[in-house]
Structure 1
Amino acid sequence: MNYIKSLILLMVIAMASCAPKMAKETASGDNTGSKDFRAMAPKPGPARQIEIGKSTQYTLSNGLKVIVVENHKIPEISYQLTIDMDNMQEKEKAGLSDITGSLLSTGTTTKIKADIDEAVDFIGASMVTNPRGGFASSLTKHTDKILSLFSDVILNPSFPQAEFDKIKTQTLSGLQANKDDPNAISGNVSGALNFGPNHPFGEITNEITVSNVNLDDTKQYYKTYFKPGNAYLVIVGDITPEVAKAKAEKYFGSWPAGKTPVYTYPFPKTVDKTAVAFVDKSGAVQSVINVTYPVDLKPGSPDEIPARVMNTILGSGFSGRLFKNLREDKAYTYGAYSALNSNELAGSFSANASVRNNVTDSAIVQTLIELNRLKDEPVTQKELELAKSFISGAFARSLENPQTVANFALNTLMYGLPADYYQTYLQRLAAVTVDDVARMAKKYINPDKARIVVVGNKDEVYSKLSVFDKEDGKVQLYDIYANPRKDESETPMSITATELVDKYLMALGGRTKLDAVSSLDQTYSMELMGMSITAHMVQSAGKFHMSLTAPGMNLMKQIYDGEKGQMENMGQKSPVEGEDLVSMKEQAVLFPERFFGEAGYKLELKGIEDVNGKPAYKLAVTAPTGAKSTEFFDKETFLKIKEVQSNEVQGQTVTTTNEYGDYKTVDGITIPYTVTISGPMPTPMVMKAETVKVNSNVDPSLFKI
């Protein structure tokens, strides 16, 4: 299975070859002045009460609230349906709401998905549904057609079983990608720890919860939550309020009246002292750090604007203190940011960055320094004015979009804001002072009661983090779903690294049989960017051949003839030299684990870890060339079930996770028939073996250069 490195390289190149060519963009710089021109920012004038476009509001007899914003600049109208439902716990069926939202537009009592899609495409419209409603837009002349379709999927969904099964499969595929995404892992674990298992914001959707969802669950979700009494229909565009009301009555007036259930949750409890949570991502070259905790900040509260100014100064862009410190001064990362989110149930604060392994602890130190500095020292007047200018500029630009006016009206109703909340927004922003920022920092910046969540390489990072834990001086390990894990690295092993490799070789068939293998010819099928791809790998007598083909296309080819290497890309051939040639030579070796005991290899047994619910031995391997990998072997069968490698691909370090399964025996040799590769591709790539031949007659021309 040492052909994976070549396959990764071929896949990356194939993606580049198959992707549409992007047009070059030319940037025009502003050359209107010298440094003196920018030396001093002009003093801001007094904030004025702005005039925001008007909205008209109606309430239908069934309780549906209609918000209309006229804009006749272009002949187009959009319709946004939002159901203001309380957040619900989905518990063992987490993922139900998303599945239901996607399912609504796949069929009605009178139309199948193909008919709906064709009708929408025919008029050049767009339409999507989600767990809280949906969105549709079309040209004005197609108003009745799009509203007929939109109201049909909202009021008369048919919940087709086949489409439900497809959506579940797509959802599971997306979850597979998230399992290898350190940012997704950090977000999931941070949310779960901040809000806890008894809060909707603390739930994590995983393969088990999605598998628990059945079609009847989606029907019940729709029946319970899709009620007009809590819904808003926002209509924006080339339409008058009178016509909009008539259309809403015609297409949504028959929606049976009703309201959604009300749920309440206690505010999540924070930690008493700084606690550190760690999630191991073997082989990672970077750590994702997140200093986070829940906050009690509600939309429209008096604190929201000054708190936003405070967070902008701290980490809301290139001018933020975190960015200047960790990026510009220390060069630890490409970017460091913070977020302070308001929410009716519970908001959250986070300060995050992705940093190199060797500076993970240093980056945490600097993040905490910036948090404490903001809390203990007043910001400068210059920082204050820059932050206010940034926010006011973004606010002013947003007014250019008529949808903004509609959203303002929607927020005013949903959150019970004062009628002039947005008209006076800039005035209240301008009134924020240095003292206000200091007050917000003391209230909302709490590093002493934060969780420091780190997703990274345990072997390189974990031991440096206990100094930050003020609860008990110990770092708590978690899996990717925020389940506590025991640190098995300190547990005495009943097996050595060499013995583990021997047991693995025995599980494959034994050294004697493996030594007798002279050739291995494998063909795998997979999907890449919507194309069906066939990968053909042949290893024989120290030679190596790998090719990728699609129907009617020869995409890629790698050949090593025992001395020379060659890469062929869409018919263009080029020699392989240097380190790449050495790597290709390694991949010509059959079952390289046979040689792990020889000079130059370094093996280190790191303990036992959970891999997809199975305990597995973790083995760190350093090859004579210096290449490193981390390999995981099932504790019961000793078969390899996972491997993490860091490879140089086109000048970049690419960390790849390979998972092996569906082992079958071919002529006495046990081979994995399923290989799932995560990392370099946007979504995991599942390779399924079509043919595996051991000691077959290999065509010598495969290795001809």
Structure 2
Amino acid sequence: MNINRKQAPEFKAIDHITLLQPEHTKLSNGCNIYCLNSGDAELVRIEWIFNNLRFNPSKPLLNVATNSMLSEGTANMTAAQIADTIDFYGAFLQAEYGYDTSEVTLFSLNKHLSNTLPIIKDILTNSIFPERELETYVRNQQQKLQVSLQKNDIIARRNFNKAIYGDTIYGFAAKADDFKKLNNDDLLAHYKQMYQPSNCTIIIAGKIEKETLDLLKSTFDKSWDNTGQTIDTTQPQIKSATEHFYFTEKPDALQSAIRMGRPLINRTHPDFPAVQVLNTVLGGYFGSRLMANIREDKGYTYGIGSGMSSMKNSGALFIATEVGAEVCKAAVAEIEKEINKLRTELIPEEELALVKNYLLGSLLGSLENVFSHADKFKTLYFAGLSYEYYDRYTEVVKNITPEDLIDLANKYLNFDNFYKVIVGKY
């Protein structure tokens, strides 16, 4: 076949995106299992996902500390033994904490699951949070915090979250003394309440044979019991601050960190996909208006972007950058100008077409393997959404008009309602 290399490949619009959908099983102890079976490699990724308990301002680090220390020792194995055994079987184990959920993830070859699954079972039923490891955890986290608080962008993010989310898990910013409040008794009590099968969703993705699923079920069904303790996963009501401007002066700063935005809808709101398009135009990709103006034209920064966060109980739109301290005020003025243009001028069709292709291409490109499909399912599942969401998302992106976007900009992008946080010079 002869290829004409002087002719560009034919452009084809993305019409429909097909997602793998899982099979569901519910164990007798209340644990839900979702299986996404695909791929040739004899490998699976298994995630044990737990809803976080209600945020307690008097003991604010219990969710994150408990999850982080799950593999630091059980009644049967030390932290070193756990790590060595996982390594011996060529597996990978990690614990990840999120605002709404905490999870334990295992990557393992199918043939070694009979050796690796019992370790996870031990972690989820017999962790003891040894005093020595707890002291090390506290010391390490305090040191990391001390380093982080030297960075203007970290301070700006903490101040921004506190302003828009208030005294909730989303707005909490740890202090060194918070780590000193951690103790073994509280961690154990939190662990026994939260890490119960009725509060667990297992998502397994990869090459799943009958033997694999049977082994998973037998390991985590009848021998994993609920403790009977009430699982409170409700969260305090969010109350945003009344003050909208926060400035932390750093007289010697060469750069100023800027973070601004506002509380917003989350993924469950009908407007969410359309606002994602609007956000992308503003600052959601390299060719965005904020990048074109503040980086490419003005040279105030190496990078600037906007984003949307969607949590279970809230959401936000935010703009973040670091600029030369002497041009901070000018950069803020340019950000305001770009936002106001979206509210007063129709987006050109050519620019909008580029953004549409970028968004649909990004969604398609993100589905590179079965684990990516599992991640998409996880996003839907914990938001309480069905697969219809991605069909609707695709349709919205394809069909949205400049008129729709100017209406959305006036609905959601009033700069006077933005929270503005600056750390450095202004």
Q: Is the TM-score greater than 0.5?
A: yes
Matched with 1:213 is 182
Q: Is the 8 A contact 1:58 1:66 kept in 2?
A: yes
- Whether 1:278 aligns to 2:247 is yes
- From 76, 80, 83, the equivalent of 2:50 is 83
- From 106, 131, 147, the equivalent of 1:177 is 147
Q: Distance in 1 between matches of 2:232 and 2:105?
A: 23
Q: Is the 8 A contact 1:271 1:451 kept in 2?
A: no
Matched with 1:231 is 200
- Whether 1:127 aligns to 2:97 is no
Q: Which amino acid aligns with 2:49?
A: T
Q: Is the 8 A contact 1:55 1:405 kept in 2?
A: no
- From 227, 234, 237, the equivalent of 1:266 is 237
Give the ranges of 4+ consecutive aligned residues of structure 1 lying more than 4 Å apart after TM superposition: 31-34, 41-44
2:203 match: secondary structure: strand
Q: Distance in 2 between matches of 1:437 and 1:247?
A: 51
How far off its partner does 1:249 sit?
2.1
Q: Distance in 2 between matches of 1:219 and 1:263?
A: 20
1:200 match: secondary structure: coil
Matched with 2:107 is 137
- From 259, 267, 279, the equivalent of 1:311 is 279
For residues 394-434 of structure 1, what are the alpha-carbon distances to aligned partners after superposition, in whole Å with 9 as ceiling and x for unaligned? 11112122112222333333222134333554233212222
Q: Is the 8 A contact 1:66 1:248 kept in 2?
A: no
- Whether 1:193 aligns to 2:160 is no
Structure 1, gaps ≥5 residues long: 1-30, 462-705
Q: Is the 8 A contact 2:92 2:107 kept in 1?
A: yes
How far off its partner does 1:43 sit?
6.7
- From 162, 167, 177, the equivalent of 2:132 is 162
- Bigger Rg, structure 1 or 2: 1
Matched with 1:16 is none
1:163 match: secondary structure: helix
How far off its partner does 1:121 sit?
0.9
2:87 match: secondary structure: helix
Matched with 1:437 is 405
Matched with 2:358 is 390
1:91 match: secondary structure: coil
Q: Is the 8 A contact 1:76 1:139 kept in 2?
A: yes
For residues 620-640 of structure 1, what are the alpha-carbon distances to aligned partners after superposition, in whole Å with 9 as ceiling and x for unaligned? xxxxxxxxxxxxxxxxxxxxx
- From 363, 372, 380, the equivalent of 2:348 is 380
How far off its partner does 1:436 sit?
2.5
2:252 match: secondary structure: coil
Q: Distance in 1 between matches of 2:318 and 2:381?
A: 28
- Whether 1:362 aligns to 2:333 is no
How far off its partner does 1:115 sit?
1.0
Correspondence list, 1:613-652, <5 A: none
For residues 36-84 of structure 1, what are the alpha-carbon distances to aligned partners after superposition, in whole Å with 9 as ceiling and x for unaligned? x6xxx97753x53332223211111111110111123211111111113
Query: 1 or 2 for the larger relative contact order (CA 8 Å, sep ≥6)?
Result: 2
Q: Is the 8 A contact 1:339 1:349 kept in 2?
A: yes
Q: Is the 8 A contact 1:85 1:260 kept in 2?
A: no
Matched with 1:95 is 61
Q: Distance in 2 between matches of 1:388 and 1:378?
A: 16
Correspondence list, 1:187-586, <5 A: 187-196=157-166, 198-240=167-209, 242-253=210-221, 254-257=223-226, 260-269=231-240, 271=242, 275-295=244-264, 297-423=265-391, 425-457=393-425, 461=426
For residues 252-286 of structure 1, what are the alpha-carbon distances to aligned partners after superposition, in whole Å with 9 as ceiling and x for unaligned? 113223662142433434648xx321112342100
Aligned pair in 2 of structure 1 residues 265, 437: CA closer, same or farther (>3 Å)?
A: farther
2:269 match: secondary structure: coil
Higher strand share: 1
Q: Distance in 2 between matches of 1:337 and 1:129?
A: 29
Matched with 1:476 is none
For residues 328-374 of structure 1, what are the alpha-carbon distances to aligned partners after superposition, in whole Å with 9 as ceiling and x for unaligned? 11111111111122223111111121111111110010011111111
Q: What is the TM-score normalised by the length of structure 2?
A: 0.91
| Alpha-carbon RMSD | 2.2
Q: Is the 8 A contact 1:80 1:233 kept in 2?
A: yes
The alignment of Structure 1 onto Structure 2 pairs a total of residues equal to: 416
Correspondence list, 1:28-47, <5 A: 45=13, 47=14
Aligned pair in 2 of structure 1 residues 412, 293: CA closer, same or farther (>3 Å)?
A: closer
Higher helix share: 2
Q: Is the 8 A contact 1:309 1:388 kept in 2?
A: yes
Q: Which amino acid aligns with 2:57?
A: K
Q: Is the 8 A contact 1:265 1:345 kept in 2?
A: no
Q: What is the TM-score normalised by the length of structure 1?
A: 0.56
Identity of aligned residues (%): 26
Q: Distance in 2 between matches of 1:447 and 1:423?
A: 32
Aligned pair in 2 of structure 1 residues 280, 195: CA closer, same or farther (>3 Å)?
A: same
How far off its partner does 1:227 sit?
2.3
Q: Distance in 2 between matches of 1:375 and 1:270?
A: 25
Structure 2, gaps ≥5 residues long: none
How far off its partner does 1:133 sit?
2.4
Matched with 1:604 is none
Higher mean C-alpha deviation, range 415-424 or range 391-400: 415-424
Q: Distance in 2 between matches of 1:418 and 1:102?
A: 31
- Whether 1:111 aligns to 2:77 is yes
Q: Is the 8 A contact 2:73 2:127 kept in 1?
A: yes
Matched with 1:516 is none
1:180 match: secondary structure: coil
Q: Is the 8 A contact 2:205 2:371 kept in 1?
A: yes
Aligned pair in 2 of structure 1 residues 307, 436: CA closer, same or farther (>3 Å)?
A: same
Q: Is the 8 A contact 1:271 1:449 kept in 2?
A: no
